[in-house]
Each structure stands twice: as C-alpha cells, then as structure tokens.
Structure 1
C-alpha cells in the first residue's frame, strides 16, 4: 500500500477591499447577477461572473424549478452561455457569490460538485487554469488558482 497526500492551496482575503480592483469589479458583476436569481424554493441566490480572454464578462444566476433537478446553478448558467456565445474564448477568472434569505451567508461558498465538474471540463479543454473567487453575501473571499484545486482526482475524457 502507498499513501498519497493531496494538498490544496487557497488564498483567503478578509473582504472585498483587499482584492485587486479588477477582481472587485468582477465580483460586483456577480453580485448584480445574484439579484436576478430565480430561487423561490430554496431562497438561496447565487451569482456568477466570468472574465474571458476577449475582455467580455459573462454572468449567470441560479434558476430554480418546482421540479428541483430541472433547475440550473449560476456557475453552469454562466459557463454554458460563455461556451455558446464565445466558443473560442478562454475563461480567465470566475467570481461567485451566494446569499440566503433565511440566514446571513458570511462564509465563502464554493461551487457545488456538479459545477466543479462542469468548470473542470472547460479548464481541461482550454489547457489553462481558471482562477476562481468565491464568497457568501459578505465577509471573506477565497481564491483558488485553478479548479483542479477544488476537484482533485477529477473525471475527464481520458477515462472514456
């Protein structure tokens, strides 16, 4: 038997004011997108903003449905739209923010597993890491230099 240790390195900022100005603007776009979320069931709104290498910013928000599996997360809404509208553009950075109408979300909220897998697909496709910034409605912001930090031992086309 061999033991394998995996390590993830993240940067944690105390708040938005510690971030570079361009990241603050990207998070602001995610916050505005979050306000457009359709979340009447969970009361949990998520916004995403993606910066592409063509300087376009694409946004997305979660869209729920009474048939829960039919809804879509903000991250996948944004990333699929970016892929459809700008198929040759690379994703440089992604900002995520989440808030709940039921409680204060002051801890950083990372992408769910399905979103991690979807973001991973684009990171592998473009052969370049995607910086991901995530936060709650207020408080600390976490930065990952790559989706691979958040999804070690990911599933990709090499297994097919």
Structure 2
C-alpha cells in the first residue's frame, strides 16, 4: 500500500517577514556563529533556543583535530539545555551559519536529537532554519525526521 508524507512548513523570503520573536532568535543564532570553532571546514554554525521562561540559550559548532569528534551547534545547545535547564522546555530553536549562502538545515544526528528532546519534554520545538536572508520554519522538529529511531 502506498502512503504519502506531506511536509507543511512556513517559508519567509526575507527575515524581516518573520514574526518578531523568531527574527530576534535568528539574530541570536547569527551572533552565536561568532563563537564557533571551525578551523577546518570554515563553516561556522550558531544556534539559539528560546525556553518557555523566555531565557535564550546559545550553541555553536566545534571541530576537532580528531575528526569526527566535533559537535554541531544544535546538539551543543540541546545537550547544554537538558543538563542545565531540564525543567524549562525549549519552545523554539533557530539555526544560522557563516557563510550563509543558503538556509542552514540540521544534520541527521541533530534532527534525531531534536526529536528526542521533544519527546522527553513532552512539547514541540519550533525550528527556524535561516540563511542568505531567508528562513524556513517547521512547527515541530519531528516534521524534519518522519521516520525516527525509537528504542
């Protein structure tokens, strides 16, 4: 039996079209790219999360000489949030990169961890993927990985 998967998302041709809270979160993610350590790929990624309390957390990618020991910005942020703010769920997470020739999307590992965090906190995470002056947004991370790993 054939089935279909449909992905509903929002696309903003200009960051100025984003709702203000999302636009501010993208700006925070852009700032986080400056704290990235990417001497090998030269691709700096920043992430910013807004918690239910309104607090903003940041993460950036970090590369290692012993590839693949580095870590993506999203997972850096998600693991920090769970370790230090587990009682304050993540409502939204923005991703930005430098250079930003196109929108920055999470890798497969980050998508799985985003879904894991959604499950543990019992609420969706709005994901804002920005770059080159535009953004695409999903209202929950699970939409980015419809066939997730489940133990």
TM range (shorter): over 0.9
Moved over 3 A (4+): none
Please state if 1:109 is matched with 2:108: no
Is there any run of 5+ residues in structure 2 with no aligned partner, and where?
none
Identify the match of residue 145 of structure 1 among 135, 139, 143. Answer: 139
- Residues 106 and 140 in structure 1, CA contact (< 8 A), matched pair in contact too: no
Distance 2:101 2:9 in 1: 18
- Residues 76 and 118 in structure 1, CA contact (< 8 A), matched pair in contact too: yes
Aligned equivalent of 1:25: 24
Distance 1:113 1:51 in 2: 22
Q: CA deviation at 1:106?
A: 2.9
Number of aligned residue pairs: give it.
151
Please state if 1:49 is matched with 2:52: no
| TM-score normalised per structure 2 | 0.96
Distance 1:113 1:40 in 2: 22
Say which is worse superposed, 21-30 or 40-49, in terms of deviation: 21-30
Output the aligned Cα RMSD. Answer: 1.0
Is there any run of 5+ residues in structure 1 with no aligned partner, and where?
none
- Residues 26 and 130 in structure 2, CA contact (< 8 A), matched pair in contact too: no
| TM-score normalised per structure 1 | 0.91
